[in-house]
Amino acid sequence: MTQTFNSPDKQLGGVTYGGYSDSIVVDERFVLRVPSNLDLAGAAPLLCAGITTYSPMRHWGVTKGKKVGVVGLGGLGHMGVKFARAFDAHVVVFTTSPNKKEDALRLGADEVVVSRNADEMQKHTGSFDFILDTISADHDINAYLNLLTHDGNITLVGAPAKPLDISAFSLIMARRSLSGSMIGGIAETQEMLDFCGKHNITADVEVIPIQKVNEAYERLLKSDVKYRFCIDMASLKSA
């Protein structure tokens, strides 16, 4: 694998210096085809947030009739909702922010649960086939494990800094499983892009000029983005 920055460059030698180039030399086996009907700005995050959420859903068999939970409605979570909807699953979003309910429904959720509400959580005990956990902050994973049905799975794509405290009984009582996932291979990424082309799926983005990248970073720290920033590369010429 050759990464876009600070990675040994197997094609030209030396190391790579970033993803803001006008052009790049790559091995043809690692080129992806973006469906022509997709907006390029909205398609750009598919190569990260898109494949990160698509891959575990495919692996764990999210299909029509499955009940799927998405924990967190951020850059990853909003893609998880779109994919689960396109797979024709019943989609439930879990959020700590009641004001995100309207947006979750707009993105394709069937239900929205405020996770701080114990009664709302209790109603869904033992009913989910699959849950995608996108949260990077410390949180109670057992609260979501207990929502899984027999043989249900929860996959982590968020990365909390602290180790999660997992109750053995949350897993063994119904043969539940906990797993993790990170992006995907070239073939699966192309499959994801083709799927997005078929269902007209892109990320919700805010396009910014490079001159506002510091402002965007500050907004990112405040979770003030819906749901990905995308830099207009043409603005580099006037930077």
- How confident is the model at residue 20, as a pLDDT? 77
Q: What is the Cα gyration radius of the chain? A: 19
Asked if the structure places residue 188 within a domain, the reply is: no
Q: Which residues of 65-100 are buried (b: 16+ CB within 10 A; e: fewer)?
A: ebbbbbbbbbbbbbbbbbbbbbbebbbbbbbeeeeb
What's the number of domains the chain is made of? 2
**Number of other CB atoms surrounding residue 137 within 10 Å:** 10
Q: Is residue 147 part of a domain?
A: yes
The answer to whether residues 146 and 87 belong to one domain is yes
Specify the pLDDT at position 27. Answer: 81
- pTM exceeds 0.85, yes or no: yes
Residue type (1 letter), 106: R
- Co-location of 129 and 218 in the same domain: no
Domain assignment present for 68: yes
Please name which of 56, 74, 14, 70 lies closest in space to residue 183, comparing C-alpha atoms: 56
pLDDT at 22: 75
Residue 24 lies inside a defined structural domain of this protein = no
The encoded tokens of residue 217 equal 């970073």
User: Is residue 111, in this structure, part of any structural domain at all?
Assistant: yes
Q: What one-letter code names the amino acid at 182?
A: M
Nearest to 69 by CA among 109, 116, 118: 109
pLDDT reported for residue 19: 73
Give the closest residue to 193 by CA, choosing from 58, 89, 46. 46
- Residues 89 and 134 placed together within one structural domain of the fold: yes
Of 9, 51, 61, 13, the closest CA to residue 201 belongs to 51
In a domain, 170, yes or no: yes
> CB–CB of 167/142 below 8 Å?
yes
Task: For the chain of 239 residues, list the mean pLDDT of each consecutive stretch of 10.
Answer: 83 82 80 96 97 98 97 97 98 95 97 95 97 95 96 96 93 95 95 98 96 95 92 84
pLDDT value, residue 9: 84
Residues 80 and 124 placed together within one structural domain of the fold:
yes
* Structural domain that includes position 211: 204-239
